[in-house]
């Protein structure tokens, strides 16, 4: 007989456009007692210094992509693959299986925690179709002009480069079309926190979950 403690926790996807604020929402959900598995953090982990992933990148693309400290030069790697689909595919073939394996491991670990549900945060959930295997999807939305300003400020890019990054992504309306919950990040942090709390409460109610110990 399956008990409540054995019932798998709901896996909720969290995504949004570049500089939309999804990482801020993820931190707020963590403060509410949710376990967040961050695909971007895992992507860094699988190519960290000394890993098999980094060694394969060097074999494929050459040692020029390493910093003096022997770590991946992420800026150089990003510049290489941004406009080169073939190079991007090669990189994805190296990293995606490793990220998938590590994601499955971290999600399994989260299932043993006291969290009411697990969130998987990733930029490309909708693009890859991964959201279809999750119980719900949260999309963080921000006006394009705010995204552009944040990209320029955060990454030190020109307006033209920021626009290119934004244009390379799946249009926001495509993500909104498959969202179960939408958080609009167009105001201040307090407004974002309130929306996040509301979505958290809605998820707890939807799946009949008890709150965690964190508040």
Q: Are strands 11-16 and 136-141 parallel, antiparallel or unpaired?
A: parallel
Name the pTM for this structure: 0.89
**What's the average model confidence in pLDDT over 16-44?**
95
CATH 3.40.50.300 domain locations along the chain? 10-34+116-208, 40-114
Give 62-100 pLDDT, tens digit per residue.
999 999 999 999 989 988 998 899 999 999 999 999 999
Give 165-201 pLDDT, tens digit per residue.
888 889 999 999 999 999 999 888 999 999 999 999 9
Which of the following CATH numbers is that of domain 40-114: 1.20.1330.10, 3.40.50.300, 3.30.70.580, 3.40.50.720? 3.40.50.300
Domain 10-34+116-208 has CATH 3.40.50.300: yes
Give 150-160 pLDDT, tens digit per residue.
888 888 888 88
């Amino acid at each position: 007989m399956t008990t409540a403690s054995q019932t798998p926790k709901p896996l909720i996807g969290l995504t949004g456009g570049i500089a939309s604020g999804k990482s801020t929402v993820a931190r707020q959900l963590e403060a509410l007692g949710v376990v967040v598995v961050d695909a971007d953090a895992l992507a860094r982990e699988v190519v960290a210094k000394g890993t098999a992933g980094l060694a394969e990148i060097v074999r494929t693309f050459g040692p020029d992509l390493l910093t003096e400290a022997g770590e991946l030069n992420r800026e150089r790697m990003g510049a290489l693959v941004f406009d080169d689909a073939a190079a991007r595919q090669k990189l994805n073939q190296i990293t995606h299986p490793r990220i998938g394996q590590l994601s499955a491991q971290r999600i399994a670990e989260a299932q043993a925690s006291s969290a009411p549900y697990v969130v998987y945060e990733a930029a490309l959930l909708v693009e890859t179709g991964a959201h279809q295997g999750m119980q719900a999807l949260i999309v963080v939305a921000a006006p394009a002009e705010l995204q552009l300003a944040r990209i320029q400020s955060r990454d030190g890019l020109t307006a033209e480069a920021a626009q290119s990054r934004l244009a390379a992504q799946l249009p926001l309306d495509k993500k909104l079309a498959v969202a179960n919950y939408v958080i609009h990040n167009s105001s201040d942090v307090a407004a974002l926190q309130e929306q996040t709390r509301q979505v958290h409460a809605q998820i707890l109610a939807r799946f009949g979950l008890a709150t965690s110990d964190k508040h």
